[in-house]
Amino acid sequence: MTALCQCGCGLPAPIAARNYKHLGYLKGQVMRFIRGHALNLLKTHEASSTSEYAAYQDAKRRCINPQYQAYADYGGRGIKFLFPSFEQFFAELGKRPEGRTLDRINNEGHYERGNVRWATWSEQSRNQRPRTRKTHCKNGHEFIEGSFYVKVNGTRICRACNNERNKNWRQNVKLSQR
């Protein structure tokens, strides 16, 4: 089975003659690009203005820069960025399709070959860590069985806070009727 070079030149892609573990190819496996064909985008001066390069840089920053705003959710959790170069990142993912952004298939895994894809927002929203539910209301009352109401939309209302709010409202109504 032959595959075409993914740079768009239309030529058949080569078969790996030996193992290229650093690129993720095994001997006999079809490679994604003819050597040097990873589009002319791979020249740093041209690639730096592409959305693919921006995704590469953002993912890298999230994992290695403790000053980055999202570091706690990525590098702070032990997620690593394992693409040593933009060329390897681009060879793995190719051009970014319209309306898609970078996503990790296994949300607990690293940014690495086989665990990244271009995904839609809806695909990404289904691929998130479970959120922890609040255990206390904003006034510090614990949400335990019987201590809250559940609204139709699923939000919880603290009974103690609700009773206090109703008590204050009744007092204000009585004062305004005098």
Quick: pLDDT tens for 55-73.
999 999 999 988 888 888 8
User: Could you list the residue range(s) of the whole structural domain that residue 2 is in?
Assistant: 1-37
More confident residue, 36 or 68: 68
Whether 109 and 51 map to the same domain: the answer is yes
Q: How many domains does the chain have?
A: 3
Do 148 and 175 reside in the same domain of the chain? Answer: yes
Mean pLDDT of 5-20: 72
Structure confidence at residue 97 (pLDDT): 93
Determine the average pLDDT of the residues in 32-56: 69
Q: What is the pTM of this model?
A: 0.52
Specify whether 117 is located in the same domain as 77: yes
pLDDT exceeds 70 at position 2? no
Last residue of a domain, one of 126, 142, 169: 126
| Residues 153 and 169 both lie in one domain | yes
Same domain, 81 and 118: yes
Least confident interval from 4-8, 37-41, 115-119, 135-139 = 37-41
Provide CB contacts within 8 A for 93, sequence distance 6+: 52, 102, 116, 117, 118
Q: Which of 126, 141, 158 is the last residue of a domain?
A: 126
CA atoms within 13 A on the CB side of 37: 16
Based on the fold, state whether residues 122 and 44 are members of the same structural domain.
yes
Q: What is the C-alpha separation between 89 and 118, in angstroms, rounded?
A: 12
Of 14-18, 130-134, 135-139, give the lowest mean pLDDT range.
130-134
101 plus 76 within the same structural domain: yes
**Are 95 and 77 in a shared domain?**
yes
On whether both 45 and 122 belong to a single domain, the answer is: yes
Q: Are residues 76 and 122 in the same domain?
A: yes
The strand ranges marked E within the chain are: 101-104, 116-119, 148-150, 156-158
| Burial status of residue 161 (CB atoms within 10 A of its CB: 0-12, 13-18, 19 or more) | middle
> Whole-number mean pLDDT of the chain?
82
* 151 and 162, same domain (yes or no): yes
